[in-house]
Structure 1
Amino acid sequence: MTEPQLYDLVVVANRLPVDRQTAADGSIVWARSPGGLVTALEPVMAAAEGAWVGWVGAPDTAPEPFDVDGIRLVPVPLSAAEIELYYEGFSNDTLWPLYHDVIAEPSFHREWWDAYTTVNQRFADAAARIAAPSATVWVHDYQLQLVPRMLREARPDLTIGYFHHIPFPPYGIYAQLPWRRQVVEGLLGADVIGFQRVADAGNFSRAVRRLLGFAAKSPEIRVPDGAGSHRSVVAKAFPISIDVEGYEQLAERPEVQERARQIRAGLGDPDTVFLGVDRLDYTKGIRHRLKAFGELLDEGTLRVGDAVLVQVASPSRERVAAYMQLRDEIELTVGRLNGTHATISHSAIAYLHHGYPREEMVALYLAADVMLVTALRDGMNLVAKEYVACRLRNDGVLVLSEFAGAADELKNALLINPHDIEGLKEAMVTAARMPRREQTTRMRALRRRVHDNDVAHWSTTFLDTLRHASHQSSAR
């Protein structure tokens, strides 16, 4: 058996950054998926000759390692049963609702946990096989929380980072997880654990103190090494961002700007275009947004023809019961509001249940006067930052939930509590009627913030912290 090639930087994530496509001749090709994470890591991985470990997105499919755009991709196989138990089950029907404040009720099944453990071990083994001596391994997100400890046990020479892309809940919620101790111990295998918000890092440190009794003084956690000493784990916030320059370049393209004008014309050239862009997920507050908009129409505060809500709800986890129910509820609400308020020439709501390429999304951002981000709980919400990046003329208004991680940075948005429907309605009316001068003042400040902390800054800051932590550890 041929020895695997070894890499100085290994990224481990649930999915590889590629989509499987069928070429005209029937052959299978892999195209890079447009994601901020790969954009951020591409130059770093190229310089370090890195590799990316992950699942290809289809059951029982694991080709040999291959290259796409200069990045070595190492597929991890998952069976259909493992996808059902580890991914749809434990990751998305246990951890996801639990970590998002139990907006939906989580399910706890031992066979799901067993599958989660098995799959995490497979990812850890794959990374350990290809990591060079003293390599850096960066693990991503809640699907792989056991991997850091598994890697440390197999390869103590490695420098291990972990980034948690979703919220980490307060201990009173987290404590419901039957395997709460094992997950915390899994994460503590890392040298640096990154979170979106300061509050998330604090929640994790408190969970460590409550469950394990380790000394934890922000941002350091002292973890016993089993030999009478300890090692230091850094747990702190590294708010993720977007490829700002890439979005600005798209927003400057004449054909994208023309498409934005076509979108507004197709909507009947209303005075105000409200826009919501979300995965169809119960954490995003889409129902609250529709309720507020519907009440404004019922009261006559907003009128069809003068205002329209465009709601993009891209499909998500369509085999999970809670998501099927959510889709039914939202589509019934949209149908009722359009049936009540639409005219022959104007809809109240343009509802779009599919995804769009990035160019079309940028055109939508340019066409919208008001961006509605009403998440009930969100790790970050990059849509808010994408909208800001595209507003080259410093116009437009961002209405942003205080429960999204982006609210920590984008303080010049109109911040709202999405559970407060009256407050949400007031913010929507304020946004629609905001003078251009105030729009400019707010948007300039928002754009400055997004520019200062783009996705390249995020990845560089995390990896620099990881190198520093590794040097301190080796110096002791």
Structure 2
Amino acid sequence: MVPDTASGCDFVVVANRLPVDRDTSSPDPQWRTSPGGLVTALQPVMQAQAGAWIGWAGTPDEDIDPFDIDGMHLVPLRLSADEIELYYEGFSNATLWPLFHDVIVPPEFHRAWWDAYIRVNRRFAEAAADVAARGATVWVHDYQLMLVPEMLRALRPDVSIGFFNHIPFPPWEIFAQLPWRTRILRGLLGADLIGFQRPTDASNFRRCVRMNFGWTTKANAIRVPEDPEVGTAEHVAEAKAFPISIDTSALDALSHDPAIVARAAQIRAELGDPEVLILGVDRLDYTKGIRHRLKAYGELLADGLIDREKVTLVQIATPSRERIDQYQHIRTEVELAVGRINGEFSDLGYQPLHYFHQSYPRDEMTALYLAADIMLVTSLRDGMNLVAKEYVACRPSGTGVLVLSEFTGAADQLTQAVMVNPHDISGLKAGIVRAVTMDEKEQRRRMRAMRRKLQGDDVQTWSRRFLQDLHALDSDKGISSWEKTA
């Protein structure tokens, strides 16, 4: 039975985190909107439709009343320290994350983690059911909340449910390892529209459905039978790709800001005015290929294939999930590699590698993008990688070279980048040398094409396409997608 939701919200976002950070620099802490791309994409929709955003505020064991900020109604959910350890650090980031990233490190399967994942997902689903108005649109985000769509459908069959998976979706041969694969698939299939970064991710998902259940799929459509045990009726779900992007116009505007342009020049001066400045910007994560990048760079210096008097690499590694063993291990390995390279190739007037384990505000990041001649993105597996797109958006001069892993979602769109396989160290070295020696005419030709792509395909376009397709499915419920493809 649908509850009385006449006073609820017509548009509800459900995500693990709220789109705000708490500024504790003053005696009276204040909330400020996070600068992330998802906030940029959804804030206008929420403002236009008096939307609500459900998520965790970032501090364990804290009850926070709903509040409004920048035209958004935020509904904080309380998570205990145990739930953060089991649901977030455990099942989300030590089970699903490695499994969905091609098992670069082995995933761990613990029943206590799974039980916590179910409990927390149910809490999110119940909160969405309470907040959503009759017939509302609910958009659920990412791998931490894969059970929410089905749970929400059982509670509120009247709402339209979308889900977007921001990370890759693995092929059946990898996904089949998950002991709870059936429950995860059923959870996602509770949505009317399931979005993925790449067509291959959507194809992997549909194949997993066929292999696990033996169901037939037609084009993007999946007929989902009723589940009396859960309480959901038969419906048709669609699974397709919606590659996410960035706020291109905002970054382009920042790259023209005189203060930021001056800061970019200052950065190069502080680094000794290298002839070629190479930049890497990543979360400190084993999926980002930082170790492979450093190995290639160290060998290039040793081989004399790049002039160590002219080339400098700046590597920014943003802290990430530092309580998880694998992340402590990758930090140790990266910092040892940095020490080896600088110890072997530095002299009193030159340091080949500058490493920073910290976060930077958007203005500083824009200045770094402006300062860098080459951007290295060497992910071993990445749903999209927005750093690659941000670098392109911040190159108004039309110069600069993007060296891009073919295992990123961005590689499908930024096809004028220098493509590399980061597992192939010799090929990666050749890609870096090609970038270092590329003439300005070729740089401009490649960068111009990539910038045109981003200008016509920004994050606002992404959210608009997803919601338009979701609303079209809602309008066509009398004529299902299954029937239209028959």
The interval holding the TM-score normalised by the smaller chain is over 0.9
Distance 1:279 1:355 in 2: 9
* 1:142-165 Cα deviation digits (max 9, x unpaired): 000000000000000000000000
Specify which of 288, 291, 315 is matched with residue 284 of structure 1: 288
1:461 lines up with 2:465 in the alignment: yes
Structure 1: any 5+ residue segments left out of the alignment? none
User: 2:191 maps to what in 1?
Assistant: 190
Distance 1:461 1:346 in 2: 49
Aligned-residue identity in percent: 59
Distance 1:218 1:384 in 2: 31
Letter in structure 1 aligned against 2:298:
G
Q: Equivalent residues in 2 for 1:17-416 (5 A)? A: 17-22=19-24, 24=26, 26-225=27-226, 230-416=234-420
Specify which of 394, 407, 417 is matched with residue 421 of structure 2: 417
Structure 2: any 5+ residue segments left out of the alignment? 481-486
Query: What SS does the corresponding residue of 1:375 show, helix, strand or coil?
Result: coil
Letter in structure 2 aligned against 1:149:
E
* 1:197-236 Cα deviation digits (max 9, x unpaired): 0000000000000111222122111112369984221100
* 1:394-444 Cα deviation digits (max 9, x unpaired): 100000000000001111101110001111101101101101000010000
Q: Is the 8 A contact 2:168 2:382 kept in 1?
A: yes
Shift of 1:112: 0.1
TM-score (norm 2): 0.96
Distance 2:40 2:77 in 1: 22
Query: What SS does the corresponding residue of 1:27 show, helix, strand or coil?
Result: coil
Change (3 A) 1:169 1:142: same
User: 1:16 maps to what in 2?
Assistant: 18
* 1:9-46 Cα deviation digits (max 9, x unpaired): 0000000001112253x223111111110111111111
Shift of 1:379: 0.2
Distance 1:164 1:5 in 2: 30
Letter in structure 2 aligned against 1:35:
G
Change (3 A) 1:460 1:74: same
* 1:124-152 Cα deviation digits (max 9, x unpaired): 00010010000000000000000000000
User: 2:484 maps to what in 1?
Assistant: none
Letter in structure 2 aligned against 1:415:
M
Distance 2:303 2:22 in 1: 48
Distance 2:248 2:79 in 1: 34
Distance 2:199 2:134 in 1: 33
Shift of 1:107: 0.5
TM-score (norm 1): 0.98
Distance 1:229 1:21 in 2: 45
Shift of 1:61: 1.5
CA RMSD of aligned residues (A): 1.5
Q: Is the 8 A contact 1:56 1:62 kept in 2?
A: no
Q: Is the 8 A contact 2:66 2:75 kept in 1?
A: yes
Query: What SS does the corresponding residue of 1:473 show, helix, strand or coil?
Result: coil
Q: Equivalent residues in 2 for 1:421-432 (5 A)? A: 421-432=425-436
Letter in structure 2 aligned against 1:53:
I
Shift of 1:364: 0.4
